[in-house]
Amino acid sequence: MDMDDKEISALVAQAQRDPAAFGALYDHYVKAVYRYHANRVGDAEDAQDLTAQTFLAALEALPRYRHRGSFAAWLFQIARSKAVDFFRRRRAQASIEQTGARAPQEPLAHIAEIDQLRTLLRALGDDERELLNLRYVAELKLSEIAAVFGKSEDAVKKSLYRLLARLQQQLEAHDERQASD
């Protein structure tokens, strides 16, 4: 079920009055939050735990929630915080490339390109990986990502555009080197 911002706001207000109504918000966002965590941690059980922690923290904080942007951005700030706590405890690095292990088998011609992309993604900074995670794994809108990062939507859009252009350039340069070898 796809909901617009007004419907989400109405559900939030209802859940603030009656915590039992939080279930509709959970149902709407649970897949995106789980995908976000699964991509970050690479383990289904850990992702399930982090998803549960995210929604428990959101439910506990819901009475203090004030609509100053998007509920999704607020929820993913909590999810991001839970992921950071997880990695602090585990002293591990989150990586976007871990989803490749669960991806369907790619044709052999694309394996080298995929491996190169994984290498490039591992070399990204935390904020750049986070930007890609929020946009393409959690599927947040640019305005929601802006709220998570505390930046303007234009700044996020430019950062994403520049990051994608840089990755494209690096892939093309690698392909050219491979072709000349």
Domain region containing 143: 5-180
pLDDT digits (tens, 9 = 90+) for 73-82: 999 999 999 9
H or E stretch at 130: helix 126-132
Answer whether 129's CB lies under 8 Å from 83's CB: no
DSSP 106: P
Confidence of residue 109 (pLDDT cuts 50, 70, 90): very low
Residue 137 contacts residue 36 (beta carbons within 8 Å): yes
Per residue in 81-107, pLDDT tens?
A: 998 888 877 753 434 444 444 444 445
Give the count of domains, the chain. 1
Nearest residue to 28 (alpha-carbon basis) of 53, 60, 4: 4
Which burial class, exposed, middle or buried, applies to 107 when counting CB atoms under 10 A from its CB (0-12, 13-18, 19+)? exposed
Q: What is the CATH number of the domain that holds 24?
A: 1.10.1740.10
Least confident of 53-62, 95-104, 110-119, 136-145: 95-104
3-state secondary structure of 155: helix
Joined tokens for residue 50? 């982090």
